[in-house]
Amino acid sequence: MNINLTLFGQMIAFVCFVLFCMKYVWPPILAAMKEREQKIADGLAAADRASHDLELAKEKAVERLKEAKQEAAAIVESANKRGNQLVEEAKGAALVEADRVKASAQAEIEQESNRAREALRSEVAALSLAGAEKVLGAAIDQEAHKQLVEKLAAEL
Protein backbone atom coordinates (compact mmCIF):
# COMPACT_ATOMS: atom_id res chain seq x y z
CA MET A 1 0.00 0.00 0.00
CA ASN A 2 2.80 2.35 -0.89
CA ILE A 3 2.28 5.37 -3.05
CA ASN A 4 4.85 5.24 -5.80
CA LEU A 5 5.45 5.66 -9.52
CA THR A 6 2.49 3.40 -10.25
CA LEU A 7 0.44 6.55 -9.69
CA PHE A 8 1.94 8.21 -12.74
CA GLY A 9 1.98 4.99 -14.73
CA GLN A 10 -1.74 4.72 -14.22
CA MET A 11 -2.23 8.37 -15.12
CA ILE A 12 -0.40 7.92 -18.41
CA ALA A 13 -2.31 4.73 -19.19
CA PHE A 14 -5.53 6.52 -18.31
CA VAL A 15 -4.78 9.37 -20.72
CA CYS A 16 -3.90 6.90 -23.48
CA PHE A 17 -7.07 4.86 -23.07
CA VAL A 18 -9.28 7.94 -22.87
CA LEU A 19 -7.72 9.36 -26.02
CA PHE A 20 -8.11 6.03 -27.80
CA CYS A 21 -11.73 5.80 -26.73
CA MET A 22 -12.37 9.39 -27.76
CA LYS A 23 -10.86 8.91 -31.17
CA TYR A 24 -11.62 5.36 -32.23
CA VAL A 25 -14.44 4.02 -30.07
CA TRP A 26 -16.96 6.67 -29.16
CA PRO A 27 -17.54 8.47 -32.50
CA PRO A 28 -18.20 5.41 -34.73
CA ILE A 29 -20.49 3.71 -32.21
CA LEU A 30 -22.46 6.86 -31.51
CA ALA A 31 -22.64 7.73 -35.21
CA ALA A 32 -24.01 4.27 -35.98
CA MET A 33 -26.55 4.58 -33.20
CA LYS A 34 -27.62 8.06 -34.35
CA GLU A 35 -27.93 6.80 -37.91
CA ARG A 36 -30.05 3.88 -36.80
CA GLU A 37 -32.21 6.22 -34.74
CA GLN A 38 -32.70 8.38 -37.81
CA LYS A 39 -33.48 5.33 -39.91
CA ILE A 40 -36.09 4.12 -37.45
CA ALA A 41 -37.61 7.59 -37.23
CA ASP A 42 -37.76 7.75 -41.01
CA GLY A 43 -39.30 4.30 -41.13
CA LEU A 44 -41.96 5.28 -38.61
CA ALA A 45 -42.68 8.49 -40.49
CA ALA A 46 -42.97 6.53 -43.72
CA ALA A 47 -45.35 4.10 -42.04
CA ASP A 48 -47.43 7.01 -40.79
CA ARG A 49 -47.48 8.53 -44.23
CA ALA A 50 -48.44 5.19 -45.75
CA SER A 51 -51.32 4.71 -43.35
CA HIS A 52 -52.44 8.26 -44.10
CA ASP A 53 -52.22 7.52 -47.81
CA LEU A 54 -54.21 4.37 -47.27
CA GLU A 55 -56.88 6.37 -45.52
CA LEU A 56 -57.00 8.80 -48.42
CA ALA A 57 -57.10 5.99 -50.94
CA LYS A 58 -59.95 4.37 -49.05
CA GLU A 59 -61.88 7.61 -49.08
CA LYS A 60 -61.19 8.01 -52.75
CA ALA A 61 -62.26 4.46 -53.44
CA VAL A 62 -65.53 5.01 -51.61
CA GLU A 63 -66.09 8.18 -53.60
CA ARG A 64 -65.31 6.43 -56.86
CA LEU A 65 -67.60 3.59 -55.95
CA LYS A 66 -70.37 6.05 -55.30
CA GLU A 67 -69.72 7.78 -58.58
CA ALA A 68 -69.66 4.48 -60.40
CA LYS A 69 -72.92 3.46 -58.79
CA GLN A 70 -74.52 6.73 -59.83
CA GLU A 71 -73.19 6.32 -63.33
CA ALA A 72 -74.45 2.77 -63.49
CA ALA A 73 -77.86 3.90 -62.28
CA ALA A 74 -77.89 6.62 -64.92
CA ILE A 75 -76.91 4.12 -67.60
CA VAL A 76 -79.59 1.69 -66.50
CA GLU A 77 -82.13 4.48 -66.51
CA SER A 78 -81.19 5.67 -69.97
CA ALA A 79 -81.19 2.07 -71.17
CA ASN A 80 -84.65 1.60 -69.76
CA LYS A 81 -85.74 4.77 -71.47
CA ARG A 82 -84.22 3.65 -74.70
CA GLY A 83 -85.82 0.24 -74.32
CA ASN A 84 -89.21 1.82 -73.76
CA GLN A 85 -88.61 4.02 -76.74
CA LEU A 86 -87.68 1.02 -78.84
CA VAL A 87 -90.75 -0.82 -77.68
CA GLU A 88 -92.88 2.18 -78.56
CA GLU A 89 -91.23 2.43 -81.94
CA ALA A 90 -91.67 -1.27 -82.57
CA LYS A 91 -95.26 -1.00 -81.50
CA GLY A 92 -95.83 1.84 -84.00
CA ALA A 93 -94.07 -0.03 -86.73
CA ALA A 94 -96.06 -3.15 -85.97
CA LEU A 95 -99.33 -1.23 -86.09
CA VAL A 96 -98.36 0.28 -89.41
CA GLU A 97 -97.36 -3.11 -90.72
CA ALA A 98 -100.54 -4.68 -89.41
CA ASP A 99 -102.58 -1.98 -91.12
CA ARG A 100 -100.67 -2.55 -94.27
CA VAL A 101 -101.15 -6.33 -94.10
CA LYS A 102 -104.79 -5.87 -93.24
CA ALA A 103 -105.25 -3.52 -96.14
CA SER A 104 -103.57 -5.82 -98.59
CA ALA A 105 -105.53 -8.77 -97.22
CA GLN A 106 -108.72 -6.82 -97.59
CA ALA A 107 -107.77 -5.90 -101.12
CA GLU A 108 -107.04 -9.51 -101.85
CA ILE A 109 -110.30 -10.59 -100.30
CA GLU A 110 -112.07 -7.99 -102.38
CA GLN A 111 -110.31 -9.27 -105.43
CA GLU A 112 -111.05 -12.87 -104.61
CA SER A 113 -114.69 -12.14 -103.94
CA ASN A 114 -114.95 -10.19 -107.15
CA ARG A 115 -113.32 -13.01 -109.00
CA ALA A 116 -115.63 -15.48 -107.33
CA ARG A 117 -118.56 -13.29 -108.08
CA GLU A 118 -117.46 -13.15 -111.71
CA ALA A 119 -117.06 -16.91 -111.81
CA LEU A 120 -120.34 -17.38 -110.07
CA ARG A 121 -122.00 -14.99 -112.40
CA SER A 122 -120.77 -16.86 -115.44
CA GLU A 123 -121.65 -20.12 -113.75
CA VAL A 124 -125.11 -18.87 -112.95
CA ALA A 125 -125.52 -17.70 -116.50
CA ALA A 126 -124.54 -21.08 -117.76
CA LEU A 127 -126.67 -22.84 -115.16
CA SER A 128 -129.71 -20.71 -115.75
CA LEU A 129 -129.34 -21.21 -119.41
CA ALA A 130 -129.09 -24.91 -118.91
CA GLY A 131 -132.04 -24.76 -116.49
CA ALA A 132 -134.08 -22.79 -118.89
CA GLU A 133 -133.17 -25.17 -121.65
CA LYS A 134 -134.40 -28.07 -119.58
CA VAL A 135 -137.58 -26.25 -118.60
CA LEU A 136 -138.44 -25.20 -122.06
CA GLY A 137 -137.42 -28.47 -123.45
CA ALA A 138 -136.34 -26.78 -126.39
CA ALA A 139 -133.12 -25.42 -127.29
CA ILE A 140 -132.96 -21.91 -126.77
CA ASP A 141 -131.27 -20.08 -129.35
CA GLN A 142 -127.99 -19.63 -127.70
CA GLU A 143 -127.14 -16.69 -129.70
CA ALA A 144 -130.58 -15.14 -129.37
CA HIS A 145 -130.85 -15.43 -125.62
CA LYS A 146 -127.31 -15.04 -124.68
CA GLN A 147 -127.75 -11.34 -124.41
CA LEU A 148 -130.71 -11.79 -122.12
CA VAL A 149 -129.01 -14.27 -119.89
CA GLU A 150 -125.92 -12.23 -119.60
CA LYS A 151 -127.99 -9.32 -118.57
CA LEU A 152 -129.61 -11.50 -115.96
CA ALA A 153 -126.27 -12.70 -114.73
CA ALA A 154 -125.01 -9.17 -114.48
CA GLU A 155 -127.97 -8.34 -112.29
CA LEU A 156 -126.99 -11.07 -109.84
Partner 1 sequence: MAAAGETLTISGYIVHHLTNLTYGKLPAGFERHAADGSVSVVPEGGMWTMANEGTEAAAMGFTAIHVDSMLWSVGLGIVFCWLFRSVAKKAEAGVPSGFVNVVEMIVQFVDDTVRDTFHGHNKLVAPLALTVFVWVFLMNLMDLIPVDLIPHTLALLGVPYHKIVPSTDPNITMGMALGIFILMLYYSIKVKGFGFVKELTMNPFNHWVFIPVNLFMEVVGLLAKPFSLGLRLFGNMYAGEMIFILIAALFSAGIAWLVPAGLLQMGWAIFHILIITLQAFIFMVLTIVYLSMAHEDH
Is-contact 156 121, C-beta < 8 A? yes
Q: At closest approach, how far in Å is the CB of 13 from partner 1? A: 5
1-20 positions binding partner 1, by CB under 8 A? 1-11, 13-18, 20
Give the torsion through C-alpha atoms of 109, 111, 115, 121, to 10 deg.
90
Let me know: does 115 contact 151? Beta carbons within 8 Å.
no
Total of chain residues touching partner 1, rule CB under 8 A: 34
Are 125 and 153 contacting, i.e. CB atoms less than 8 angstroms apart? Answer: yes
- The smaller minimum CB distance to partner 1, of residues 31 and 45, is found at 31
By the rule CB under 8 A, 46 interacts with partner 1: no
Give yes or no for residue 43 binding partner 1 (CB under 8 A).
Answer: no
Cβ–Cβ under 8 Å, residues 152 and 120: no
- Which residues form the interface with partner 1 (CB under 8 A)? 1-11, 13-18, 20-22, 24-33, 35-36, 38-39
